[in-house]
Structure 1
Amino acid sequence: MSDRPIGIFDSGIGGTSIWREINRLLPKESTIYLADSKNAPYGEKTQAQILELSIKNVEFLINKGCKIIVVACNTATTNAIKELRASYTIPLIGIEPAIKPAALHTKSKTVGVLATKGTLSSALFNSTSELHANGIKVLEQEGTGLVALIEEGKLYSDQTKELLQRYLKPMLKEGIDQLVLGCTHYPYLIPLLKDILADEVEIIDSGDGVARRTLAVLEQHQLKVGASKTTVEHQFYTNVNPEVLKTFLSDVNGCYRVDYLDF
């Protein structure tokens, strides 16, 4: 048993979609969330830069006493998780596009993946696609510009809608019936996506799977919170204006803080 917090980091606010799933499944666990919004999007950086930023984030969360770290960023996972696991003994949970369930569920044998350049070009993404999507047509689309708009709080702006239309229309013409969201920012766009996609297109993200994996690893390492603990705290850090992050947490119940941190 351990009352220490779960650490979570992302290249900004997108990983709060993962935080929500973890908090839903593990409501008694305290968390520390690190939003590296100043360096978003990771998907446009080199692998060396992504690894450097990921190491910095992991070191920060370890120094804060976290017992496990969730890399709530597809780009950081696909480009850095192997090196992170080789360098640290703390359990690390990664996230990658949910190609496997999409391949299992598709009836049209055609699935779309909306992700960042850094994720789509990674060796891990390509090996996962080859492993699980044999015989399936996978249409890859870089979501250039979407992360920046979400980080600015422009979820429902005309610019966001125009980009989504541009990215999704070709996929629809090809007959996709599954759309994999390969970036943790993108679940916040689901209301817009549903307006554009056909009713038969299923939207798949990795949040629930990551939460269940987090639970399994906590149990495996005997790190679940003690039954006697009554106080749950959630600390969010960001290196840009905290007010934007707060808007994404306005519906969250319970005790939490959002603070600016120069890192």
Structure 2
Amino acid sequence: MKIGFFDSGIGGLTVLGHALKILPFADYIYYADIEHLPYGEKTKSEVRQYVQNGMDYMAEIKVDAVVIACNTATSAAGVKLRKNYSFPIIGMEPAVKPAVAYCKEKGKKVLVLATSLTLREEKFSKLVHRLDATEMVDTIALGALVKFAEQFEFDTLAVNQYLEKKFAPLDLSDYGAVVLGCTHFPLFNNVLQQLFTKETVFFDGSVGAINHLADILEQKGVAPSLDDKIKFVITNGKLPPSDVDYKKILQAYVHSIH
């Protein structure tokens, strides 16, 4: 089976990492649109066009399915594009539902971390409203983390100072759960977890998305590959990273998840 992954940069590697564990016998094509990142600062129409370009490429190489491994791209384009392609397109959704369920039992609040575009989308506000969780869900846009990640800065002084400044107005002990609403953010797990209490649980939507992908492929009767391999497609940027950079990040993340 041939599975495409689409993201603005390296964030989708956190989703691909889970795919390698759940669906190890597949050929993966990872499309990183670094030429246009960060998506969180773009307009909805711009992001939609970037995603369509990526999906057109996936159609050309005849993939069996695509994961839009980017919350921002899913919010801006996922629903609109699904009807245009013959292959299944699986998107990302912030794991607000399980986080809210967990915190209702604990009497705690939920903090959602995402890009500004994801947070201002009607899709997100409707999700929170549908869960009757408006009063218990707080949000913070952390778009700069995407830029730090693309520079391979995950635990630098600048990263720590940025997070401390963003979180300064909050009492972090109020939160029983943190939702990582951008696929770049799990790359900062170690730094983020140090800022919250040990009891705080972190949620992201990667495992749910990959389990959904596995179910769809099984329903379609797609046969696994005889051997697994990964191909990286990186759009031109000012300083395009190499396959080696991406493979190092992916390998480190796979080793960090259980």
Name stretches of at least 5 consecutive residues in structure 2 with no aligned partner.
none
Task: Kindly indicate whether residue 171 of structure 2 is the aligned counterpart of residue 175 of structure 1.
Answer: no
In the alignment, the residues of structure 2 paired with residue 223 and residue 123 of structure 1 have an alpha-carbon distance, to the nearest angstrom, of 34
The 8 Å contact of residues 114 and 142 in structure 2, kept in 1 or not, is answered as: yes
In the alignment, the residues of structure 2 paired with residue 34 and residue 46 of structure 1 have an alpha-carbon distance, to the nearest angstrom, of 20
Identity, % of aligned pairs?
30
In the alignment, the residues of structure 2 paired with residue 173 and residue 15 of structure 1 have an alpha-carbon distance, to the nearest angstrom, of 27
In the alignment, the residues of structure 2 paired with residue 6 and residue 29 of structure 1 have an alpha-carbon distance, to the nearest angstrom, of 7
Query: What's 1:247 paired with?
Result: 248
Residue of 20, 28, 31 corresponding to 2:28: 31
Query: What's 1:232 paired with?
Result: 228
Amino acid across the alignment from 1:67? D
- Where 1:178 maps in the other structure, the secondary structure is strand
1:105-124 Cα shifts (integer Å, max 9, x gaps): 00234100000011001121
Amino acid across the alignment from 1:170? P
Q: Which has the higher contact order (CA 8 A, sep 6+)?
A: 2
Query: What's 1:259 paired with?
Result: none
The 8 Å contact of residues 109 and 136 in structure 1, kept in 2 or not, is answered as: no
1:51-70 equivalences in 2 (<5 Å):
51-70=48-67
1:181-236 Cα shifts (integer Å, max 9, x gaps): 000000010000111111111111111111111101111222242xxx42221111
The alignment's TM-score, normalised by the length of structure 1, stands at 0.88
Amino acid across the alignment from 2:22? L
Query: What's 2:17 paired with?
Result: 20
- Where 1:66 maps in the other structure, the secondary structure is coil
Deviating more after overlay: 62-71 vs 167-176 = 167-176
The 8 Å contact of residues 103 and 136 in structure 1, kept in 2 or not, is answered as: no
CA shift at 1:174, angstroms? 6.8
1:160-171 equivalences in 2 (<5 Å):
160-171=159-170
- Where 1:154 maps in the other structure, the secondary structure is coil
In the alignment, the residues of structure 1 paired with residue 65 and residue 9 of structure 2 have an alpha-carbon distance, to the nearest angstrom, of 19
In the alignment, the residues of structure 2 paired with residue 105 and residue 224 of structure 1 have an alpha-carbon distance, to the nearest angstrom, of 37
- Where 1:140 maps in the other structure, the secondary structure is strand
- Where 1:170 maps in the other structure, the secondary structure is coil
In the alignment, the residues of structure 2 paired with residue 61 and residue 182 of structure 1 have an alpha-carbon distance, to the nearest angstrom, of 25
The 8 Å contact of residues 15 and 184 in structure 1, kept in 2 or not, is answered as: yes
The 8 Å contact of residues 152 and 244 in structure 1, kept in 2 or not, is answered as: no
1:23-172 equivalences in 2 (<5 Å):
23-106=20-103, 107-134=106-133, 136-172=135-171
CA shift at 1:164, angstroms? 1.6
CA shift at 1:252, angstroms? 8.1
Deviating more after overlay: 190-199 vs 229-238 = 229-238
CA shift at 1:166, angstroms? 2.2
The 8 Å contact of residues 112 and 171 in structure 1, kept in 2 or not, is answered as: no
In the alignment, the residues of structure 1 paired with residue 186 and residue 56 of structure 2 have an alpha-carbon distance, to the nearest angstrom, of 27
CA shift at 1:144, angstroms? 2.7
The alignment's TM-score, normalised by the length of structure 2, stands at 0.90
Query: What's 1:256 paired with?
Result: none
Deviating more after overlay: 240-249 vs 33-42 = 240-249
Amino acid across the alignment from 1:117? S
In the alignment, the residues of structure 2 paired with residue 205 and residue 217 of structure 1 have an alpha-carbon distance, to the nearest angstrom, of 20
Amino acid across the alignment from 1:231? D
Report the CA distance shift for 1:173/1:191 in structure 2 as closer, same or farther (over 3 A).
closer
- Aligned-residue Cα RMSD (Å) equals 1.8
Amino acid across the alignment from 2:80? E
Query: What's 2:199 paired with?
Result: 200
